[in-house]
Structure 1
Amino acid sequence: MPAVLAPFSAYLEDPDVTDVFVNGGAGLFVDRGAGVVAAREWRATEEEVRDLAVALIGAGGRHIDDATPCVDVRLGGGIRVHAVLPPIAPEGTVLSIRVPRLEVATLDDLQRTGMFDERMRRRLGEAIAGRANLLVSGAAGAGKTTLLAALLAEAPEHERIVTIEDVAELRIAHPHHVRLEARQPNIEGAGGIGLARLVREALRMRPDRLVVGECRGDEVRELLSALNTGHDGGAGTVHANSLQDVPARLEALGALAALDDRALARQAASAIGLVLHVERDTDGARRIVAAGRPVLDGDGRLAIEEMRWGGE
């Protein structure tokens, strides 16, 4: 663990902790998988929290100050840190620390935790073996990245998996995994490399499976285009509150890429073979609660046709 994280060691070394949050001088909060709770023993002033933010961001190779008050970095071990300074955060410096678990879950592991049943386990294996293009949807912390990594680990060893992420989080138990990570502009606003460009670069790397860790902008156009031109077995994730909210989310992303609703619908219905929606229950358990396939509705817009996968 990087030395700069020492003030949080008691929480980061807890195997159940997934997230640590600091709200200025107001306190620290921890998520152990069942919701966020306050750490009453934590004490730090706003000045100390700001100093921590500067040190953490600096350890990630970036700079945070009044001119650049919102910064996201990845530290050793895959720990992700996001910091926001006042006055953007008027109540004080805000730190959000995402803690990856070092163990890489397999589909069998996820089945044992109750994410899906035996029938769905077989179907998931068939989807990977059949090189279906997959989209995993869900809210933040629902388990999208964990599920996607477990699915990709099922790919044959001879296949080349290229993943593209804003901040590299996907950990895949596969011998041929190439990771690409976006780069933010420097303090002069130059040198940034976004996800859309990385998708185009990845296509020159002869991937057998092209994966965008999270679609959140105009890179959706490049991904859908690639999946429509012979790049089977690809995958991605998207934030959505339910399976039926996925079309609206994709339409919003398509608008950022200058795709109208019907153009986006035709691309998505042709490119994506299966959508899996995951949710986290109040007890912390993560489950696949719905599955479907993109289709065109009567007006030529995108809809999701739900599939009955679970149960016997």
Structure 2
Amino acid sequence: MNWVSRLGQVKDTGTPSQKTGSENYSDIGPRTDKYQSLKEAVHREVVTEYNTRFAENRSGEDSSVDMMEIIRQLIGRQEQTLTRLEESKIAQEIYDDVMGLGPLEVFLRDSSVSEIMVNAPNQIYIERSGKLELTGSRFRDNAHVLNVINRIVSSVGRRCDESNPMVDARLADGSRVNAVIPPIALKGPTITIRKFSAVPLKIEDLIGYNTLSPQMASFLEACVKGRCNTVVSGGTGSGKTTLLNVLSGYISDQERIVTIEDAAELQLKQNHVVTLEGRPSNIEGKGVVSIRDLVRNALRMRPDRIIVGEVRSGETLDMLQAMNTGHEGSLTTVHANSPRDVVSRMETMVMMSGMELPAKAIREQISSAIDLVVHQSRFRDGSRKIVNVSEIIGMEGDTVTMQDIFVFKPNGVDSMGKVAGQFVPTGIHPKVVEKIRNNGVLCKDEWFLQKGW
């Protein structure tokens, strides 16, 4: 790989005796490692050697530099006897530290890890199969964590310092990153990485994970193709974005899609996709581009579908208006505890727009704009399931009326400690079926029958 074109000159990330910008933080003692001094010595030499070769090759035709080869050569020069396994392990750790995200790289490479959480330099947790695990990996100190944070956020044009101690960013593969540093984080810099699989999940995968039934999957596919406005709801970590990504895959390649997110996470495969990403303020407190700004701008971009990663405040009003004014089939997610809670949450968020609308007018907007609410939950065993597929059918007085089409009925736990239960239709025939069929999409009545499963 051409490491020069990827990074340019490498900067020394510092050793415990070379802290950068963390003198005011309470450092935790260095990790107990008999090879620590060797790693620090090789690390410093690697940076010097790499930058020397970079300077020499900058004007040449072949500017590639094999970083791993440099590291192995420098380890060989050290007067220390190592087995081949030890040498390979040390070389990989140094490589990860110089070219990647240090001790986090091993978890980023592990496809079974879905989340990485750094609580302190000496405390790194991961989530695997829905369960949290404390790892044995460590950062050297707070300065080491800060360097990794700066490497992440600088690559996407953002910053994290005492004046802006919280930041959202993303990795090159689309994984979402949140970082918080002192003085906000009292134990030291904190990193949370929500990983996304290299190959996006498909509906077949969700069926295999028992997230939903085949009948529910067929109905949701028909709803997306039939241009139903859909809200995916659920709590933190319930799988909303994953499901949104799967549902987005059903949109025709002939339609113009505009996606709007705080940090770009959606992995759409269609050709006609415009991806917009919000921007925080600069060091002067200016230049912020909010999700609401992007939703408003998207309306001028001739979109067939608008997909908002998550509505959190005033942009909810603009999203509802877009759904009501010719952008049918749009999708978004919202934090909520139930389908009914979605309505009250969205009502509150519309009020945050600053428009003094009466409550009934807001509810009428919601009832006319949204066709379907898909609510997902995360259970104690780590599994994620769609527990409600609900239809919004209109207003009765001042109340938005809803009806469940599919529900998940839990039935205790099985012998493996997994949540048992079944996905069942309520027997109600959705009113949205007419809209789906009018758009030329097949929708079978047998999907909604309580018998014959």
TM tier, shorter chain? over 0.9
Structure 2: 5+ residue stretches without partners: 1-5, 8-98, 408-422, 425-452
The one of 61, 70, 76 aligned to 2:166: 70
CA contact (8 A) 2:119 2:191 kept: yes
Equivalent residue for 2:47?
none
Q: Deviations over 1:166-221 (max 9, x none)?
A: 11111123222221111111111111111111111111111111111101111101
Equivalent residue for 2:203?
107
Amino acid at match of 1:129: K
Equivalent residue for 1:52?
148
The one of 304, 308, 333 aligned to 1:237: 333
CA contact (8 A) 1:251 1:260 kept: no
Q: Which protein is bigger by CA-based radius of gyration?
A: 2
Shift of 1:254: 1.4
The one of 99, 115, 127 aligned to 1:19: 115
Q: Percent identity?
A: 37
CA contact (8 A) 1:104 1:173 kept: no
Q: Quick check: 1:81 aligned with 2:186?
A: no
Tell which deviates more after alignment, 189-198 or 240-249: 240-249
Q: Deviations over 1:9-58 (max 9, x none)?
A: 11111101121111123511111132322113434323322333233322
SS at match of 1:308: strand
The one of 283, 289, 304 aligned to 2:387: 289
SS at match of 1:204: coil
Structure 1: 5+ residue stretches without partners: none
CA contact (8 A) 1:247 1:303 kept: no
Shift of 1:298: 4.8
Supply the distance in 1 between the matched residues of 2:157 and 2:138 (Cα, whole angstroms): 27
Q: Quick check: 1:92 aligned with 2:188?
A: yes
Q: 1:174 to 1:151 in 2, by over 3 A?
A: same
CA contact (8 A) 2:368 2:394 kept: no
- Aligned residue-pair number: 312
State the structure with bigger RCO (CA 8 A, min sep 6), 1 or 2.
1
Tell which deviates more after alignment, 236-245 or 272-281: 236-245
CA contact (8 A) 1:4 1:56 kept: no
Supply the distance in 2 between the matched residues of 1:172 and 1:122 (Cα, whole angstroms): 20
Tell which deviates more after alignment, 139-148 or 242-251: 242-251
CA contact (8 A) 1:218 1:254 kept: yes
Equivalent residue for 1:255?
351
Equivalent residue for 1:222?
318
CA contact (8 A) 1:163 1:213 kept: yes
CA contact (8 A) 1:275 1:293 kept: yes
The one of 145, 148, 153 aligned to 2:241: 145
Supply the distance in 2 between the matched residues of 1:190 and 1:304 (Cα, whole angstroms): 42
Shift of 1:118: 1.8
Supply the distance in 1 between the matched residues of 2:137 and 2:161 (Cα, whole angstroms): 29
Q: Which runs of 4+ in 1 moved over 4 A?
A: 295-299
Equivalent residue for 1:154?
250
Supply the distance in 2 between the matched residues of 1:71 and 1:107 (Cα, whole angstroms): 32
Equivalent residue for 1:9?
105
Amino acid at match of 1:308: F
Q: Quick check: 1:270 aligned with 2:368?
A: yes
SS at match of 2:231: strand
Amino acid at match of 2:241: T
Amino acid at match of 1:268: I
Q: Deviations over 1:216-247 (max 9, x none)?
A: 11110110001011211111000112223212
Equivalent residue for 2:226?
130
SS at match of 2:193: strand
Shift of 1:260: 4.4
SS at match of 1:78: coil
Shift of 1:97: 1.4
Supply the distance in 1 between the matched residues of 2:252 and 2:394 (Cα, whole angstroms): 32
TM-score by length of 2: 0.65
Tell which deviates more after alignment, 156-165 or 2-11: 2-11
Supply the distance in 2 between the matched residues of 1:40 and 1:26 (Cα, whole angstroms): 8
Aligned runs of 1:171-210 on 2, under 5 Å? 171-210=267-306
Supply the distance in 1 between the matched residues of 2:204 and 2:163 (Cα, whole angstroms): 47
CA contact (8 A) 2:152 2:170 kept: no
Amino acid at match of 2:297: E
Q: Deviations over 1:254-298 (max 9, x none)?
A: 121134432221111000000000112233322111011235665
Q: Quick check: 1:32 aligned with 2:128?
A: yes
Shift of 1:299: 5.1
Q: 1:4 to 1:260 in 2, by over 3 A?
A: farther
Q: 1:169 to 1:106 in 2, by over 3 A?
A: same
CA contact (8 A) 1:280 1:287 kept: yes
Q: 1:118 to 1:305 in 2, by over 3 A?
A: same
Shift of 1:65: 1.5
Amino acid at match of 2:243: L
Q: RMSD over aligned Cα, in angstroms?
A: 2.1
Shift of 1:163: 0.9
Amino acid at match of 2:376: V
Tell which deviates more after alignment, 65-74 or 51-60: 51-60
CA contact (8 A) 2:371 2:393 kept: no
